[in-house]
Structure 1
C-alpha cells in the first residue's frame, strides 16, 4: 500500500496540471495549499458517512454551502481570508446533491457535533436553496443569510422547469451536456480569477457521469417539491438576508 500511494498522488497532480495549466501560479498555490491544509472531517447521518470542512477560530461561525456539481473547496478563497476571525463549517454535499430535508439534517448534525449554537449561512446556487430551507426549519440556529446565484423558494413554475431539465438530461448524450456546460464556463465574466474559474469548473465537469446528473436532477426536483409547502406570506425566517449580485 505504501508503494502505491505516491502513484495515486502523482496521477492526481497530472489531472490538476492539465486543468489548471493556464492558472497563475500564485492562485494555484493558494488553492492546492487550501486542499492540503483543510482535510475533511466525517460524520454519520442516518447511516450515511458524510464529510465537511471545519476550521478557523472566533466566537461567530460561518457555514458555507456550495452549489451543484462543485465541492466545498469552491469557497477556498473566502475561507482562507476569514478563518482567522471566524469559525468555519463547509459541508460537502454528495455529487448528486440531496433533498432539502436530508441536507438540513446533515447540517444540523454538524452544528450539534461541533457545539455551534448559531451561525451565518452563506449559500451559492443549490446551497442558497438549502440555506433558505434550513432557515425556515431552524430559524433559531441562523444569525443571517447571505445568498448568491439562487432562486426564491417556492417560486412559480420552478417544478415544471426542473422536470424539463430532467428530461433533457435523461435523453441527451453526456458529451452534448458537457459541451453546453463548457460554453457556459466560457461566458464567465473577465477578472483576474477568470482562468481559475474556468479551470475549476472544467475539472468539475470532467468528473460528471450520466448517473450523477440524473440523481442530481431528481434531488433538485425533490428539494423544490419540499419547499413548495412553505407559505410565502407566513415565513418563519424574518432575520437579515443579504443577496449578492455579480
Structure 2
C-alpha cells in the first residue's frame, strides 16, 4: 500500500515538473506596461499598426517592415532580444528621407550564415543593391559579418553597443550555455526579467519607456538559445583590406554598458582603427531607445558625411575608363593640370608631362585592359592609391597621389612600373 502511494506521489511530482517545464513565458503588451499616453507610446502604436511583409527562406518565414521615400536604404539590425519594432523611433525619423528596412530574426535561425541568407533575401525581394547597415548588439555583430562577406554592397556601417569576433563571451558563458537548455522557458524568462530590472534599466537612468518596452518584446526559449549561438559564431574579418577599408564605419558605445565588457569595447575599437567612435555617457545598452534624440542626431550626422573613398573612386574610374577608351576628355578630368608621371627605365628616372601622356593615349587608341584598385589611404586632403592595369601580355602597377581640390579629387602624380 505504501509502495503504491509513493509511486503516485512520484508520478504527481514528475507531472508537476513536466507541467512547469512546458509552461510558456508570460506575455505582456507595451500598452499594459506603459500607461503614459505620450509621443513615444503614440509613435510605437502607430508603427506597430503599419503592415509588415513576409518572405520565406529555406522554409523559414521572415517578417520585415519597409517604408520611406529616399533613394538610399538603411537596413536596421536588432539585438539578441529584439524584433523589427525595436527601431521604431529611428524608422519614424529616417523614413522621411530614406528607404528603411527592419526585420525580426526568426527563432529558428542559429548561425551568422543563416541570418545573412535571410537578410540578403529580403534585400533581393525589395530590389536593394547598396545600403547602409545599422546594427546594435547581436545586430552589430551580424553587421560586421555582412561587411566581411559583401563589402561591395555596404556603403556605410554602424556597429552599435556591440562586440568584435571573440572567445570571451563563449568562455564566460560556458557553464550557463550547457545548463540553460534544460531550464523551463518560464524560468529563463524570469531570469531575463531580473536582468532587465536590476541591470539594463538602472544603467539607462531608470528610463520608464525602456522598462516597459523590453519586457514586451517577443520571447521564447528557442529564440534565446539560438540567438546566443549567433553571438558566439566565429568569423574572420580583415579591416585593412581595401574593400572593407573603403566602408566608413561608426562605432557607437556606452561607457556604462552592462552587456558589453570593457575588454570587448576596447577590442572592437582596436580592430576597426579607422572607425569613428561616439560614446554615450550613462545611457546603458539601448541608447537608441532611451536616448533616441541624441542617437538619431549622431546617426544622421554620420550618414550625411561624404564617403571620400567613393569620391576618389569616381576620379580613378575616369582615369581607368579614359585610358581604356582613349577618351582624352574623361582621362584629363582625372588629373590635376600640373600633374606628371614618373617611372624608371634601366635605373634612369623618367618624368613624363601630362600632355605627353595624353598624346600617347590618343595615338594608342582603345585598349583591352582589366583595371583594379588594390589599396588606398586617405589623410585629410591627400590620398595614396595603388592600382593595376592588366593587359593580355603585360601589366602595370600605379601609385597615385591625389589631392582634394575645389573641383574634387585630382591625381597630382602617377608613379608606375611594369610588373610582368
Task: Calculate the TM-score normalised by the size of structure 2.
Answer: 0.49
| Partner Cα distance (1:209, 1:106) in 2 | 20
Query: Would you say 1:80 and 2:95 are equivalent positions?
Result: no
The answer to whether the 8 Å contact 1:96/1:219 transfers is no
Cα shift at 1:72: 1.3
* CA 1:158–1:179: 2 relative to 1, 3 Å: closer
- Larger relative CO (CA 8 A, sep 6+): 1 or 2? 1
Q: 2:168 is matched with which residue?
A: 157
Distance verdict in 2 for CA 1:165–1:149, change over 3 Å? farther
1:237 aligns with 2:241: no
8 Å CA contact 1:188–1:198 kept in 2: the answer is no
Matches within 5 A, 1:109-188: 109-153=121-165, 155-167=166-178, 169-170=180-181, 173-174=187-188, 175-188=190-203
Q: Can you give the 5+ residue segments of structure 2 that lack an aligned partner in the other structure? A: 1-27, 254-279, 281-420
Q: CA separation of 1:119/1:133 partners in 2, compared to 1, >3 Å: closer, same or farther?
A: same
Deviation, 1:216, is: 3.0
**Match of residue 196 from structure 1:** 209
Deviations 1:145-188 (A, max 9, x none): 011110012x2434323434413534664333432333123313
Report how far residue 235 of structure 1 moved: 8.1
Superposed displacement of residue 110, structure 1? 1.4
Q: Take 1:56 and 1:140, find their aligned partners in 2: how far apart are those partners?
A: 24
Q: What RMSD over aligned residues (CA atoms) do the two structures have, in Å? A: 2.4
Aligned residues: 222
TM-score (normalizing by structure 1): 0.80
Q: 1:97 to 1:68 in 2, by over 3 A?
A: farther
Query: Tell me, what secondary structure is at the counterpart of 1:94?
Result: coil
Structure with the higher strand share, 1 or 2: 2
Deviation of residue 116 (structure 1)? 1.1
The equivalences for 1:51-90 within 5 A come to 51-90=63-102
More helix by share: 1
**What is the rounded CA distance, in whole Å, between the counterparts of 2:196 and 2:107 in structure 1?**
16
Mark the structure with the bigger radius of gyration.
2
